[in-house]
Structure 1
Amino acid sequence: MDVVEVVLGLLVAVAVLALVARKLPIPYPILLVVGGLALALVPGLPQVRLDPDLVFILFLPPLLYPAAIFTPWRDFRANLRPITLLAVGLVLFTTAAVGFLAHYFIPDFPLAAGFVLG
């Protein structure tokens, strides 16, 4: 099966699940996960290998865009502190942790390169 056919089939499945999600009181991402699991368990379908960049370009934006557009400003402002802590603080913590662990486990690995790796 060609990659284009697989991508088009997955996009159609996502569109159908989006329509179903409007009718049911189930969050859209949960319905997509359940739909993906159901597709994975169908015995006759070929194994699909997609490039991760293709997933980031084609499938992630339709998932994130509605959540970003329909989030009320009041909710966003109410959660601004946790959002900022996770977006900035956790990134800095992860960068430092990966940098120090890479330098610790590989002594010839410079600390600056470890931070870049993190």
Structure 2
Amino acid sequence: MTTQHNSYDELRYYSKPFSYTSIALLEGSATFWGLTPPALKGAKVLELGSSFGGNLISQAIYYPDTEFVGVDLANSQITQGNEIIKSMGLTNVRLETKNILDITPEFGIFDYIIVHGIYS
């Protein structure tokens, strides 16, 4: 993992559902524009910069047959999110502390990738 100071562990990011990142919206938009997106049932979704998973957890509830993975630099937020996931009994969502620069193809293949709020 790339080592660097992580201010996100000190200054927490408020995580919540963002309607414009809904996988149903992404699937519908792709279909509207003539693409053939993967079916949501059985899809794998990755969110970069997931914080404690507020955006993914809400979608995991509504799409139990879809796998959700969130990554974030802030270990404190990932820990909090995984505690929430465990307390809710969700098995189709997981969060990992990871720098997005360290993601390689071995991490997985995803049908949908959500990226919002990351300054590039």
TM-score tier by shorter-chain length is under 0.3
Q: Which has the higher strand share?
A: 2
User: When the two structures are superposed, what TM-score results if normalisation uses the length of structure 2?
Assistant: 0.27
Q: Which has the higher helix share?
A: 1
Higher relative contact order (CA 8 A, sep 6+): 2
Instruction: Please tell me whether Structure 1 or Structure 2 has the larger radius of gyration of its CA atoms.
Output: 1
User: When the two structures are superposed, what TM-score results if normalisation uses the length of structure 1?
Assistant: 0.27
